[in-house]
Structure 1
């Protein structure tokens, strides 16, 4: 699976959010089934999901249960979310719920990470954003720092 990280900034803040990625990947993102979850820490018992706005509060509740929802429901919540700071969104096809199509991971408001084998997704990301870097490996756990303990 290929991993891309998007670092684009606008006025010193990340220039994109979940809603932008879902729009970019439409119509497939709207047809997909999604699992909303926390980003796990390498320290047992530590994990994060943080988002702001009305939609962000709802997403945060869903992430605590690794909730599944439709692409259209996720897109609606994303539109009401100001910013996803931490969070993981795993999309699978409507008929292949056991096969991951794409994983979108928000990492500490620093970058978005995209994991996928879908060449169309990789091409859209690379051609839309200017500061896209290839990740050595997906962030599957995040080191806990002392400020979050």
Structure 2
């Protein structure tokens, strides 16, 4: 899935991205740092997480059109993000969620990365520098 500009996920890579693969996107979404947000995955991802709406209000949200047919996710899903931070150490957390027709939001899987560990050996981030990071979401079925 790709994010063109309006927080709507699309399946096809946007045309401008396909034409110029090396260009850095100027599509910027800013999120205020809130250290208590992003870890609502229950005990070691085995606990019940409940409705995610209270946590989502403090997150950047990207939504697809309603999916008409079932999608099976078995195994590990990788996520790639273009990121920047104003500090030398930051974490990025991604949650894949299922939105019920009544609006309730259930956690499907999640993953996180410490920005310093985006490469080996780990190094601090350069503030306000853009990075492309890829990391796995936890195994799910």
- Measured against the shorter chain, the TM-score band is under 0.3
Of structures 1 and 2, the one scoring higher in RCO (CA 8 A, sep 6+) is 1
TM-score, normalised relative to structure 1: 0.21
TM-score, normalised relative to structure 2: 0.22
Q: Which has the larger radius of gyration?
A: 2
Bigger helix fraction: 1
